[in-house]
Amino acid sequence: MAAKFWIRASALLVLAALLVLPETGWAQGLPMVTASQGPRGTQYSITLQLLALMTVLTLLPSLLLMMTSFVRIIIVMSLLRQALGTGQTPPNMVLVGLALFLSLFIMQPVLTDVYQNAVVPFMNNGMSAERAVAAAEGPIREFMLKQTRQDDIALFMQIARKGEPMDAASVPFTTLVPAFITSELKSAFTIGFLIYIPFVVIDLIVASVLMSMGMMMLSPMMISMPFKLMLFVLVDGWGLIMGSLASSFTL
């Protein structure tokens, strides 16, 4: 199961990276590169294929951040760690790994759709690269549109001076991506604010008690952290955070 997840995730990122390639790259060859028409559409030389592969490899980290649920999850996890006041515990590698695998869990329907409708036909030589990219774009676009606020889409359409879109399908992919990222940041900070409230209350109570006892030289954070950890464990905080993050995405 884990191997299938990684295969589908890699295929998703590879096909998604091809979406951001200039349209002229599919329409014509580059200098010193040949392009010919075949039964599966336009066929490019090995040099252009290697160029596209190198472009994909350099874009993989950015695509992981821009087009999946990773951004919202990692920001919420970082804010949770700051609210607990535990410093670097859990460490960054643990948070990134947790956010990565939770993103794979959330994106499973999208990855399955892309794998079955785009990757498998392309690997079986039954679909051209252009059609595979178009087939992979559909599930990704649908997922991003469901998480993106209409105000953010309208904002970037106004910045690009493209006018009001007629429907969801008419929103350019280059406009949808920044709108999606903006919406994800808003959602992540909203969730982080709600997480912060109970821990701030504990800090205020502990600070008030210490000041009333005349212990102004003692750091309130040192005393409040065990209480925050106890509260977080008693209410099954990790389960609540994971479940809330997973259910916050509309699929």
Average pLDDT of span 222-233? 85
Going by C-alpha positions, the residue among 237, 249, 244 that lies closest to residue 104 is 249
Rounded CA separation 208/218 (Å): 12
The answer to which of 11-15, 90-94, 146-150 has the lowest mean pLDDT is 11-15
Judged by average pLDDT, the poorest of 143-152, 173-182, 191-200, 219-228 is 219-228
CB atoms within 10 A of CB 86: 14
What is the overall mean pLDDT for the chain? 77
208-219: per-residue pLDDT in tens?
Answer: 888 887 777 777
User: How many other C-beta atoms can be found within 10 angstroms of the C-beta atom of residue 199?
Assistant: 20
- Which sequence spans correspond to the domains of the chain? 2-16+44-247
In this predicted structure, the answer to whether residue 188 has a pLDDT above a threshold of 60 is: yes
CA distance 245 to 251: 13
User: What b/e string do you get for 145-172 counting C-beta neighbours within 10 Å, with b at 16 or more?
Assistant: bebbeeebbeebbeeeeeeebeeeeebe
Q: What is the pLDDT of residues 131-146, one digit of tens each?
A: 777 777 788 888 888 8
Residue 102 has pLDDT above 70, yes or no: yes
Distance of CA 68 to the CA centre of its chain: 3
Instruction: Give me the mean pLDDT over the 213-238 stretch.
Output: 82
17-69 residue pLDDT tens: 444 444 334 444 444 455 556 555 555 555 666 676 677 677 777 776 788 88
For the chain, give the number of residues: 251
Q: Which residues, in sequence order, are CB contacts of 23 under 8 Å at separation 6+?
A: none
Q: Using an 8 Å Cβ cutoff, are 148 and 173 in contact?
A: no
